[in-house]
Structure 1
Amino acid sequence: MSEYVLPPSGPGGGAGYSTCCHPMDFTVLCVVNGRAEVRGHFSYDSRDPYTVRAFFARGEDDFVEWVFGRELLADGLLRAAGHGDIRIRPSSDDHALIVIELTSPFGTAVLAAPRQALDEFLACAAEIVPLGEEHRLLDWDSELERLLAGER
Structure 2
Amino acid sequence: MSTVIEHAVQARMVASAPRMESVPATLLYDRRDPFAVRIAFPATATLEGTDVSWAFSRELLAAGVDAPAGLGDVRVRPYGYDRTVVEFHAPEGVAMVHIRTSELRRFLKRVQGLVPAGREHLYLDLDHNLVELLRDAS
Establish whether TM, by shorter chain, passes 0.5.
Answer: yes
More strand by share: 1
Matched residue, 1:85: 73
Letter in 2 for 1:69: S
Structure 1 residue 71 and structure 2 residue 56: aligned?
no
| One-letter amino acid of the counterpart of residue 108, structure 2 | L
* Structure 1, 28-37 or 119-128: larger mean CA deviation: 28-37
Question: How far apart are the structure 2 equivalents of 1:101 and 1:59?
Answer: 19
After superposing on structure 2, the runs of 4+ consecutive aligned residues of structure 1 that deviate more than 6 Å are none
Let me know the Cα RMSD of the aligned residues.
2.0
Q: After the TM superposition, which of the residue ranges 57-66 and 98-107 deviates more from structure 2?
A: 57-66
**Bigger Cα displacement from structure 2, 52-61 vs 101-110:** 52-61
**Which one has more relative contact order, counting CA pairs under 8 Å at least 6 apart?**
2
- TM-score scaled by structure 1? 0.79
| CA offsets 1:74-118 (integer angstroms, 9 cap, x no match) | 010111101121000001xx2100000001122110110000000
- Paired position in structure 2 for 1:12: none
Instruction: Note if 1:29 corresponds to 2:17.
Output: no
Q: CA offset at residue 150 of structure 1?
A: 4.8
Q: Matched residues in 1 for 2:128 and 2:5: separation?
A: 25
What CA distance in whole angstroms lies between the structure 2 residues aligned with 1:147 and 1:90? 38
Q: Is the 2:32–2:125 Cα contact (8 Å) retained in structure 1?
A: no
Q: Does the Cα contact within 8 Å between 2:65 and 2:78 map onto a contact in 1?
A: yes
Distance 1:146 1:97 in 2: 40
Structure 2: where are the runs of 5+ without partners? none
The TM-score normalised by the length of structure 2 is 0.87
Aligned residue-pair number: 134
